[in-house]
Amino acid sequence: MTRVLLLLPTATYRAADFIDAARELGVEVVVASEERPILADTMGDRAVVVTLDDPSAGAAAIEELDARHGIDAVVAVDDQGVLVAAHAGEVLGFPHNPPDAAARTRDKAAMRLALEAGEVPQPRFAIFEDPDDVPSIGFPCVVKPSRLSASRGVIRANDADEARAAARRASDIAAGGTLLVEEYVPGDELALEGLLRDGELEVLAMFDKPDALEGPYFEETIYVTPARFDDATARDIERVVTDAATALGLREGPIHAEVRVHDHRVWVLEVAARSIGGLCARALRFGAGISLEEVILRHALGRDLGDLARESTASGVMMLPIPRAGRLSAVNGQDDARAVPGIVGLEITIPIGREVQPLPDGDRYLGFLFARADTPDEVESALRAAHAALDVAIT
């Protein structure tokens, strides 16, 4: 039987969606996660422990597993597993990204240097270690830790004092390590979801992010597809993201790129060697209704991808922000939110009673709202109306 190994970080939102996709394809799943394997209860000996921080050790564990069970593909479900997947792909001979390319996507300083070498348009930047000594690159700027994700520790600063405070905070959140300061790029932000095959980029979807993301913290909220940009801009984005993937050395599998468009120019914020995070992929359907997870598994297994055109309806997702720190005591108004025309789903992903923390420290969303409608504007309105119907009680 065909067997795929899924690398599941402990905090992943996506285990169920990948497992459903595998079932749809008639493929057996082996899960690898850190510490006690996720789903160990139901998966038995098809759940293994793999260190995601030590790619060579992780790849060696997967090689052993392959010798026992025979694995046909390794798929990293989220960012944390991309390095192990790259190493394992190399060892086992699956289509894979070169390990050093995958490593560049996990380190914002290394990414900036590679994009610079490839002359890809991006914000001016400086890399530094001492939070009390922030290099001056002009204002406003954005300070961020090199090795975190989910916008944790990403802070805008408008002058030197703010920059120093931001650097200290970013350094605390990351528990030390390399920092970056970048020119703040104004304009509209959008995300490109793509699939690389032998270095060629196939655009699967473009999302616009209609909420102003102006800082000081950058909380992701609404994603709407198709993105409301003209065709020329869309082509520019595709070209620049292709150049970015090439500069990073990425060749196989999903990418999630974030860009800003300002004055008709495209700036790369970053490119990740994974698909869209959280439960956001549920906003996408391709061809005869297949999920993004299924597209990714088919690619990893070398199967026919079929029709990769996204469905014709507009679609969107809102990552529900955590309004403040405390204990989540209730999320009221869920029925009203679900009743808003266009809303097709609501998932609260934090259990009631749990401690919650907003950005820039936290890295979890309260949940996800999904909408579908004839136009992107209607999708956006539905998401906003449903969000307004929710009353989040934090004590």
Ligand X SMILES: Nc1ncnc2c1ncn2[C@@H]1O[C@H](COP(=O)(O)OP(=O)(O)OP(=O)(O)O)[C@@H](O)[C@H]1O
Question: Which among 49-57, 146-154, 158-166, 290-298 is the span making contact with ligand X, rule CB under 6 A?
Answer: 146-154
Q: Does 173 bind ligand X (CB under 6 A)?
A: no
Q: Take residue 131 and report the two structure tokens written for it.
A: 């939070």
Question: Which among 13-21, 24-32, 68-76, 142-150 is the span making contact with ligand X, rule CB under 6 A?
Answer: 142-150
Judged by CB under 6 A, which of 2, 56, 151, 381 binds ligand X? 151
Judged by CB under 6 A, which of 34, 258, 293, 294 binds ligand X? 258
Contacted by 123, from ligand X, Mg ion, none: CB < 5 to 8 Å by type: ligand X
Output 71 or 283, the one with its CB closest to ligand X.
283
Judged by CB under 6 A, which of 185, 227, 314, 366 binds ligand X? 185
Between residue 345 and residue 364, which ones bind ligand X under the rule CB under 6 A?
Answer: none
Among 364, 365, 363, which Cα is nearest to 174's?
A: 363
Contacted by 184, from Mg ion, ligand X, none: CB < 5 to 8 Å by type: ligand X
Q: Does 193 bind ligand X (CB under 6 A)?
A: no
Q: Least distance (Å) from Mg ion to the CB of residue 220?
A: 8
Which residues sit opposite 267 in a β-bridge? 260
Question: Which among 29-37, 126-134, 181-189, 387-395 is the span making contact with ligand X, rule CB under 6 A?
Answer: 181-189
Q: Least distance (Å) from ligand X to the CB of residue 145?
A: 8
Do the beta carbons of residue 104 and residue 251 sit within 8 Å? no
Do the beta carbons of residue 314 and residue 224 sit within 8 Å? yes
Judged by CB under 6 A, which of 78, 189, 294, 380 binds ligand X? 189
Q: Locate tokens 């050790």: which residue? A: 57
How far is 153 from 172, CA to CA, in rounded Å?
9
Instruction: Return the biggest CA–CA distance within the chain.
Output: 60
Per rule CB under 5 A, count of chain residues that contact Mg ion:
2
How far CA 191 is from CA of 64, 80, 269, 322, in Å, comes to 37, 20, 10, 22
Between residue 2 and residue 61, which ones bind ligand X under the rule CB under 6 A?
Answer: none
Q: Least distance (Å) from ligand X to the CB of residue 311?
A: 25
Judged by CB under 6 A, which of 149, 225, 275, 315 binds ligand X? 149
Q: Does 368 bind ligand X (CB under 6 A)?
A: no
How far CA 44 is from CA of 58, 150, 198, in Å, comes to 19, 31, 35
Output 251 or 260, the one with its CB closest to Mg ion.
260
Do the beta carbons of residue 321 and residue 344 sit within 8 Å? no
Between residue 269 and residue 308, which ones bind Mg ion under the rule CB under 5 A?
Answer: 270
Q: Which residue is nearest to ligand X (CB)?
A: 218
Output 243 or 258, the one with its CB closest to Mg ion.
258
Q: Does 270 bind ligand X (CB under 6 A)?
A: yes
Between residue 70 and residue 109, which ones bind ligand X under the rule CB under 6 A?
Answer: 108
Between residue 102 and residue 141, which ones bind ligand X under the rule CB under 6 A?
Answer: 108, 123
Between residue 205 and residue 224, which ones bind ligand X under the rule CB under 6 A?
Answer: 213, 218, 220
Do the beta carbons of residue 147 and residue 83 sit within 8 Å? no
Contacted by 150, from ligand X, Mg ion, none: CB < 5 to 8 Å by type: ligand X
How far is 93 from 69, CA to CA, in rounded Å?
16
Q: Does 184 bind ligand X (CB under 6 A)?
A: yes
Output 247 or 337, the one with its CB closest to ligand X.
247
Positions that interact with Mg ion (CB under 5 A) = 258, 270
Residues in contact with ligand X by CB under 6 A are 108, 123, 142, 144, 148-152, 154, 182-185, 189, 213, 218, 220, 258, 269-270
